[in-house]
Every structure is written in C-alpha cells, then in structure tokens.
C-alpha cells in the first residue's frame, strides 16, 4: 500500500476554501437588497423577481430575462504585473452589465468565476471587493460565484476571471435595433480609456516599446500603468436615466456597448438592412492613451478595429428626442457626444474623417 | 515610428473569433425552446419567463430566480491529456444544474465561459457540443457564452471552463432544508463515478501509481481513462419527477448535490440545528473506481471527505412518503438507495459502518 496522499497534499485545501468562502460573504452581502433570499451554505443563490414592499417594489407583467457572460481578457495579466487588483473586478462587472443593458434590461444580479493557482486571500479578496463595488454601482446583487484552485492550469499566481449577469426587461420594452430608422441620431458616452479589450495587443506594444509602467503618463498625475488599468465605465445609471425619462415612448431604438471590434463592429451588429450609421470622427477627442498606443506602432485603421477609441457606449435615438436624451444624460452626470446619424445604406458603419 | 503591429500579430484574431461564434450557433439553437428570444449578434441572451402557448406554457405567481456558477476543476486536464473532450461539457452543465435543482428550481438556461490558449475549432467545438448535450438533458437552453483567447494565461493548449445556470421556483415551493424533521428519510441516487470533484488528487494518484490510462479497467470494456472521465450524472429529470408527483404536499424537505466535501459536508450544510443525518455506509456498494483510488494510497476517511463515494444526489423526504418517492424515482429510471434517517443531534452527518 503506497503512503496515504490527502487532497491537501495534492495542492487543494477544502478547509482553506471554506475560509475563503466565509471571507467573501461580507463582500456579497454588501450588495444585497431585500429581493435576495440567499441562505448561508445553500447550493445556489435565490432572488425574488417580483417584490411587493415599498422601496424595492417591482412587478413584471411579461418578464424577459436577459443574461450574458464575459471576462476581462488579459487586462488581468497587466493588473497582476502591477500588483493592482482592486479595480479588475469593476472591469468584470462592467463588461457584463454594459452588454446586458443594451436591450433595455435592468441588471438584477451577478455571479463570478475565479480560476486561481492558489487561494492567496488578501490579493484575491481585492478582486472580489472590486466585483462587489462594481455590483453596487450597477445596482445588482453579487448573488454567488465559484473560486477554483487549479495549480496545474494557472501558474505563477496567474488568475482568470469570468462573470455572468442576469437582468430583466418587460417584453414590450425590449430594445434590439429593429426599430432603427433613417434620421436616428447616434449619441456616444465617453469611455475611461481602453476599458477591457485589446490588452494582448496593448501588452505587446508596451513590451516592445520598453515602456515604463511607473512613469507619469504624459506628465500627468497618473502613471502609465494606472492609465492602462483605468476601470471600465459602468453605464447602467446613464441608460436607466434615459429609459426612465421616456418610459412610455419608443425613443431609444438601439444601444451598443463598444468592446472588441470597436465602434464599427459593435454598431453594425445592430443595424437593420437598408441603413448605414455615419459617425464623424471629429465629433470627439479620444482619450490620449489611444494616441500613445498608436505611436507605439498600430495603424489608425487597426486602432478603430480593436479599441473603443474613447466612446464606450452608444445610444441610437429618434431625431426629435436627441436634444432631450442629451439633456437627460447631462443631468445624470454624463458628457454625451453627438456622433452622427443613421442614413440609407447597406448595414454598414461609415467612419467619416 | 515602429513597424505596425496588428491585434492578430499579438496572437488574437477577431476574424477567427467571429467564425468561432458562428460555429457554435448551431449547438446553441439545438437547445432552444420557444421561450428563447435570442437574436443573431445581440449583446445578450433573452429568455421569456412566462409563456402562454400550449406546450411550453408557464406562469409563475411569485417567481424566485435561482442561479449558480461552477467549473469542472482539473478534470479538464485529464480530458485534454486523453484527447477526449466530448463529455467535459456535460460535466460542466451537471455541476451547475445539480446545484440549481436542490432548492426545487426548474433550470431555464445556461451560459458558458471558455478560456483557451488558441481557438482550435474542432477540439473546442467538441466541448461546446458536450455543453449543448448536457443542456438538452437538463431541459435548459444554452443562451450564451464567451470564449476568451488568452495565449499568455492558458498555455500548451490548456483550457478552463466555467458555467452559469439560472432556474426558477415558486416562492412558496422553495426547498432549503429548514423543514427537515427527525424521522425524515435520506434517499440517494447513484453517481456515475468520480463526477467532477477531486481530480487534482486523482491525477496525482494516477501519476504516482504510474497507471496506464489506456489499460482496461478491472478487465471490463472501459479503459481506466474512460472510467475516470465518465460524465457527471444530471439529476434534473429525477428531481422533477419527484416534485411533480408531489406538487401540492411538502414531501421533499431537502436535496443535496454531493460534490467536494462529500456526503458529510454537502448534507451537513442543509441540516437545521438539533438533528443529525445518519447514513449507513453498507446501504450501497460504491462504484469500483473508488476502491481503485483508495488502493493507490488514500485513507478511507479522506476518500469520504473528497469524493461522492458512489452517491451523487440525495433527497431528504418525509418518512410516510419514502416508499412513494422511491417508486417515483424507479419509474423515472433511477436506482434509488435508502441511505439512512434524520435523528436528534447537533447538525452533524454520522457515517455508520
């Protein structure tokens, strides 16, 4: 009989995992509202869809559940390299809820998956704290999650994280771009920078250019590393403000979250046949990080294919409400930009100089 | 100006990703029912909760959404080593939906996250096909997902996969163990083998014991590798059969999915104070794979802490309905085992010889 091997000997400690689960519970409960029915130690998270009490009163007539899954790509490797894990969780929530709200949904809850080489609580707890902060900003509950300790997949302290969010929208309020018409106006909201796409390229450029991540970025108060790690903006409040201001009219015909593929692909995917979206590049001034990356050796065309170029979220609205939507967005603290219009065409996005 | 670098040069191809998304669409649509409202190219998946048409008619009075996230741990590394990726997706769905149904929920939809070193379509498509097969067996729609190509995180063709599932249960039908009483009977359903927990230990044992994964397992028709990769059973139909047979009575007081931590931890987490669960080990004969692993060098106590030991799912039911539940499970094609009873105690699980 060989000498006995325990699960712990093999690199996994159930006891450490139990302690970890307890540690993240405080993060989770800080995101709860009364609709959360979670019980300690349950196998799954529970969330009441309808709710009768005053403040969180909700009643859906024909609820459509909306769900998406996303990760943060290799932005996490940059965060690990810089030892700054506090905002990568915000990125994770943002990547999911910004997708979710494009159809008019209100986010309800979020779950995370963390793959790690080892349970290193202080560092990893920062990740969960960031996720919880993102959830609070998005108005959704961190309902559950899973942390998988897999030393043979994730090495040298590497981690990966994936997120999953669920929201709800009334059946007759679903927004999907089918209502886009010629003359509709495109209104963009600024991104905070690169957000969470294209980091495999960003990291290659930084490495090839031997850039100092700790040096001040263009003489400003932030280091290059901080600029590159700026958390993805969460557009939930902005979208909710617009939808609430026009609760009875069909004013917003589409919304787009600008991720990998840039403005072109992420708007084109919504366009009905027979129209183009015309965007004037001079309508806004991209965040300086994009010019910095371009100078490290990327063509302007490639930049627009990979990055958001300063616009993180786009509304397509009926022309007679464009000024009103802009005002609502300003009142919500945003800095909306009129990017262009919908014209006759063939389902393409045209970027004008 | 340095020579221009493209996103593709850096190791990520948006075009390949688009082809991949198209390739998995067929897998997804094979799991759809009329409640799925997904549109091509949308940012999120849409699912109608209530539905008025005949076959899929659903109307929830006080719907409680149920959600969980889980992965398959390092079982995926064994699957990669053996070049058999066709059932790891079933494991992924099983790990999630078996958790989901413990509170009485009906699974609605599933989303996956795949982290990969490169988009190698034929192999990875097997994974997605397995996920879709698992979804069909669980009666839920594969509503969305994300595949992240991260060559600097996942190396040498390694992958990781995570899953998220959502279900629904009526508020007054939530099952959470609070109704467990002295005298309740524990009924177990057999596992297919190791399911998806403890593979870091399994792999260490196999390696240390220099076991031949291609050799027939105990002279049977399956190789050791095949036995180790047997897909996790999905207990959705069995649980649904019981809940439907007793739709108006509170017959089932708890359900447990036996995962990491084994029978002891996964049943203990549900027990109210003041009761113990007594399980007689002789009530069933564990799958021979467990004795095989034990002989490679694991104590019997450790085996019960890490593995399901042949029982994948447990019902706790009112004593006067134990025979009826057993009959319903047999009619559903299961082989139910009376494991033991609930006694007075202190919230512990007692494994009797």
Q: Identify the three-state secondary structure at position A147.
A: strand
Identify the residue whose tokens are 């490290």.
Answer: A296
Mutate to test the interface with B, among A33, A138, A153 (most CBs of B within 10 A): A153
State the burial class of residue B63 (Cβ atoms within 10 Å of its Cβ: 0-12, 13-18, 19+): buried
Domain annotation covers residue A65: yes
Average pLDDT over residues A255-279: 96
- Cβ-count burial B209-221 (b if 16+ within 10 Å, e if not): eebebeeebeeee
Does residue A14 carry a pLDDT above 80?
no
B9: which chain A residues are within 8 Å (Cβ-Cβ)? 201, 204
Cross-strand pairs, A162:
A71, A113
Q: Which letter, b or e, does each residue of B76-104 get, where b requires 16 or more Cβ atoms within 10 Å of its Cβ?
A: bbbbbebeebbbbbbbbbbbbbbbbbbbb
- Name the nearest CA neighbour of B92 among B127, B125, B45: B127
pLDDT exceeds cutoff 90 at B123 = no
**Residue carrying structure tokens 């009906």:** B106
Verify that B200 and B344 share a domain, yes or no.
yes
B64/chain A closest Cα distance in angstroms: 4
- Report the residue of A19, A28, A37, A69 to disrupt the B interface, i.e. the one with the largest count of B CBs within 10 Å: A69
Nearest CA to B292 out of B234, B196, B338, B228 is that of B228
Which residue range forms the structural domain that includes residue B95? 14-48+57-173
Residues B199 and B118 in one domain: no
Sole residue written with tokens 């202190």? B346
Q: In what order do the strands lie in the sheet with A252-257?
A: A252-257, A311-317, A185-190, A337-344, A275-280, A349-352
Integer angstrom CA distances of residue A258 from A154, A194, A283, A304: 29, 10, 16, 11
pLDDT of residue B1: 66
**A138 and A225 in a common domain:** no
Q: How far apart are CA A330 and CA A321, in angstroms?
A: 14
Residue B3: inside a domain: no
- Are B6 and A297 in contact (CB < 8 Å)? no
Amino acid A2: pLDDT: 80
* Site from B61, B153, B308 to mutate, A interface, most A CB atoms within 10 angstroms: B153
What is the maximal distance between C-alpha atoms in chain A? 81
Same domain, B225 and B328: yes
Please report how the helices B75-82 and B199-208 are oriented relative to each other, as an axis angle in degrees rounded to 10: 50
Q: Categorize the per-residue pLDDT at B146 as very low, low, confident or very high, splitting at 50, 70 and 90.
A: very high
Q: Are strands B252-257 and B106-116 parallel, antiparallel or unpaired?
A: unpaired
A-chain residue closest to B67, CA distance: A45
pLDDT at residue A289, rounded to an integer: 98
Q: What is the pTM of this model?
A: 0.95
Choose one of B145, B173, B201: the last residue of a domain.
B173
What is the CATH number for A226?
Answer: 3.90.650.10
Question: Residues of A with CB below 8 A from B314's CB?
Answer: none
Residues 6+ apart with CB under 8 A from A26: none
Residues A145, A132 contacting (CB under 8 angstroms) = no
Q: Write out the E strands in A191-272.
A: 252-257
Please state, in angstroms and as integers, the Cα–Cα distance from residue A130 to each residue in A123, A124, A126, following that order: 11, 10, 6
Q: How many CB atoms lie within 10 A of CB A295?
A: 12
Residue B261 per-residue DSSP state: T
Query: Residue A1: which pLDDT band, with cuts at 50, 70 and 90?
Result: low
Query: Is there a contact between A43 and B69 if contact means CB atoms under 8 Å apart?
Result: no
Q: Evaluate whether A332 touches A241 at the Cβ level (below 8 Å).
A: yes
Is A243:A106 a contact under the CB 8 Å cutoff?
no
- Residue A206: inside a domain, yes or no? yes
Is residue B180, in this structure, part of any structural domain at all? no
Residue A130 shares a structural domain with residue A265? no
For residues B308 and B303, what is the distance between their CA atoms, to the nearest angstrom?
8
Beta-bridge mates of residue B9? none
My answer on whether B135 and B214 are in the same domain is: no
Task: Check whether A239 has a pLDDT greater than 70.
Answer: yes
pLDDT at B21: 82
On whether residue B9 sits in a domain, the answer given is: no
B64 vs A37, A153, A203: nearest CB: A37
User: If you measure CA to CA, which chain B residue comes closest to A5?
Assistant: B298
Minimal CA separation from B218 to chain A, in Å:
18
Query: What is the CATH number for B30?
Result: 3.30.1330.10
Q: Pick the last residue of a domain from B173, B202, B225.
A: B173
The tens digit of pLDDT for each residue in B192-226 reads: 999 999 999 999 999 999 999 999 999 999 999 99
Name the minimum distance, in Å, from the CA of B103 to any CA of chain A: 8
| Same domain (yes/no): B224, B155 | no
- Closest-approach residue (CA) in chain B for A292: B1
Q: For residue A66, tell me if it sits in a domain.
A: yes
* N-to-C CA span, chain A: 75
Residue-wise pLDDT tens digits, A92-146: 999 999 999 999 999 999 999 999 988 887 789 999 999 999 999 999 999 999 9
Specify whether A199 is located in the same domain as A282.
yes
Segment B98-124 shows an average pLDDT of 93
**pLDDT confidence of residue B326:** 98
Q: Which of A89, A332, A333 is CA-nearest to residue A231?
A: A89
Work out the angle between the directed axes of helices A88-100 and A121-138 (0-180°, nearest 10): 30
Residue B313, pLDDT score: 98
For residue B206, how far is the Cα from the chain centroid? 23
Contacts of A236 in chain B (CB under 8 A): none
Which tokens hold the place of A24?
């993240």
| A208/B69 touch (CB, cutoff 8 Å), yes or no | no
Residue B171: pLDDT band by 50, 70, 90 thresholds? very high
Number of domains within chain A: 2
Residue A3, domain member (yes or no): no
Are the C-beta atoms of A153 and A314 separated by less than 8 Å?
A: no
A6: left (phi over 0), alpha (psi -120 to 50) or beta: beta
Give SS3 for A148.
strand
Q: Which chain A residues touch B154 with a CB distance below 8 Å? A: 153, 160
Tell me whether residues A5 and B298 touch, CB distance under 8 A. yes
Q: What is the pLDDT of residues B238-296, one digit of tens each?
A: 999 999 999 888 999 999 999 999 999 999 999 999 999 999 999 999 999 999 999 99
Give domain status of residue A2, yes or no: no
> Is B167 found in the same domain as B97?
yes
Please determine, for residue A77, whether its predicted confidence score (pLDDT) is greater than 80.
Answer: yes
Over residues B29-63, the pLDDT tens digits come to 999 999 999 887 789 999 999 887 766 677 889 99
- Token couple for A133: 């902060």
Do residues B144 and B243 share a domain?
no
How many Cβ pairs within 8 Å bridge chains A and B?
A: 298
- Would you give the DSSP letter of residue A151? T
Tokens, residue B302? 């450790």
A121 and A223 assigned to the same domain: no
Average pLDDT of the segment spanning A291-310: 96
pLDDT above 90 covers what percent of chain A? 81
User: For residue B160, what are the CA distances in angstroms to A16, A151, B70?
Assistant: 22, 12, 11
Q: Are residues B331 and B193 in the same domain?
A: yes
Which token pair is A221? Answer: 């108060």
Final residue belonging to a domain, choices A173, A205, A231: A173
Q: How far is A8 from chain B (nearest CA, A)?
A: 8
Q: What are phi and psi of A183, to 5 degrees?
A: 100, -20
Indicate the SS3 state at residue B75: helix
């Amino acid at each position: 009989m060989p000498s006995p091997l325990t699960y712990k000997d093999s690199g996994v400690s159930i006891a450490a995992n139990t302690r970890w689960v307890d540690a993240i519970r405080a993060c989770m409960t800080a995101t709860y509202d009364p609709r959360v029915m979670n019980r300690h130690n349950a196998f799954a998270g529970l969330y009441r869809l309808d709710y009768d009490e005053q403040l969180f009163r909700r009643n859906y007539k024909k609820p459509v559940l909306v769900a998406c899954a996303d990760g943060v790509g290799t932005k996490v490797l940059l965060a690990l390299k810089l030892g700054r894990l506090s905002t990568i969780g915000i990125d994770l929530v943002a990547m999911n809820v910004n997708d979710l709200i494009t159809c008019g949904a209100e986010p309800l809850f979020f779950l995370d998956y963390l793959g790690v080489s080892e349970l290193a609580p202080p560092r990893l707890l920062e990740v969960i704290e960031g996720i919880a902060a993102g959830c609070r900003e998005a108005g959704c509950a961190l309902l559950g999650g899973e942390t998988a300790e897999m030393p043979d997949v994730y090495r040298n302290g590497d981690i990966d994280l994936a997120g999953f969010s669920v929201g709800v929208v009334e059946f007759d309020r679903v927004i999907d771009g089918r209502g886009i018409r010629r003359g509709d106006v495109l209104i963009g909201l600024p991104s905070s920078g690169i957000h969470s796409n294209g980091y495999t390229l960003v990291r290659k450029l930084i490495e090839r250019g031997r850039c100092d991540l700790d040096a001040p970025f263009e003489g400003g108060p932030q280091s290059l590393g901080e600029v590159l790690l700026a958390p993805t903006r969460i557009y939930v409040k902005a979208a909710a403000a617009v939808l609430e201001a026009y609760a009875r009219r069909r004013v917003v015909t589409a919304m787009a979250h600008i991720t990998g593929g840039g403005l072109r692909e992420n708007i084109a995917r919504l366009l009905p046949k027979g129209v183009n979206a015309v965007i004037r590049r001079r309508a806004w001034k991209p965040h300086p990080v994009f010019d910095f990356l371009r100078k490290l050796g990327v063509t302007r065309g490639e930049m627009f294919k990979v990055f958001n170029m300063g616009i993180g979220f786009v509304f397509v609205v009926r022309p007679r409400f464009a000024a009103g939507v802009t005002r609502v967005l300003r009142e919500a603290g945003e800095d909306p930009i009129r990017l262009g219009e919908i014209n006759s065409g063939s389902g393409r996005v045209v970027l004008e100089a």
